[in-house]
Amino acid sequence: MRNEREVIAHHESAHCIASYILGCQPLMMTIDFPPRVEHAICDDAKSVAAVLYAGPAAATRSGGHTSLAGSVDMEMLMHVVSRLPTEVAEGIPRMARDLVDEHWTEIEELARVILLHGTLQGDVLARELARICKASSRELRVTL
């Protein structure tokens, strides 16, 4: 079983990898208080919703007890999802879980790196994401 900091690292790494894959350009990630990922403004509500849901999906997969209930992620997710058609919004959890499953290798590697550094930002984060995603044996794909 992973400790709380490891679960947080997987949670934030999933947000960051999803943001990178979906074109939302992550700018900073930290597992220090408060843990978060900041990314460029992304106008695609479906992508933003998937990025928000990916964190809790990864925390669950990593063995953590992180839930959306009462979280900042949930508050933002509800705001974003309210702009989507119901049938699209209902598919977001499955899409995010699939993204996490498909890119778990990358999420685990970024979690390992962020556990060493605590915070990554700017060019350093961009280089790490390019390295991790390029090193992946799978081509980065996403179906929205």
Place of tokens 């685990």: 108
Sheet holding 119-121, edge to edge: 36-39, 26-30, 119-121
Q: What is the pLDDT of residue 135?
A: 76
pLDDT score for 70: 55
pLDDT at position 66: 55
Q: In Å, how far from its chain's centre is CA 44?
A: 15
Average pLDDT over residues 27-56: 95
CA 6 to chain centre: 14
Phi/psi for 68 (5° steps) reads -80, -25
Average pLDDT of every residue of the chain:
90
**Mean pLDDT, rounded, for 53-82:** 83
Q: Which residues contact 105 (CB under 8 A, 6 or more apart)?
A: 136, 137, 138
Contacts (Cβ under 8 Å, ≥6 apart) of 48: 24, 42, 80
Residue 82 is classified by DSSP as T
Q: Which domains does the chain have, with CATH numbers?
A: 4-135 (1.20.58.760)
pLDDT tens by residue, 89-133: 999 999 999 999 999 999 999 999 999 999 999 999 999 999 999
Give, as one character, the DSSP assignment of residue 64. Answer: -
Cβ-based neighbours of 64, under 8 Å, separated by 6 or more: 2, 4, 7, 8, 10, 11
Of the pLDDT bands very low, low, confident and very high (cuts 50, 70, 90), residue 140 is: very low
Reply yes or no on whether the pLDDT at 137 is more than 60.
no
At 11 the pLDDT is: 94
Closest C-alpha among 72, 78, 61, 63 to residue 33: 72
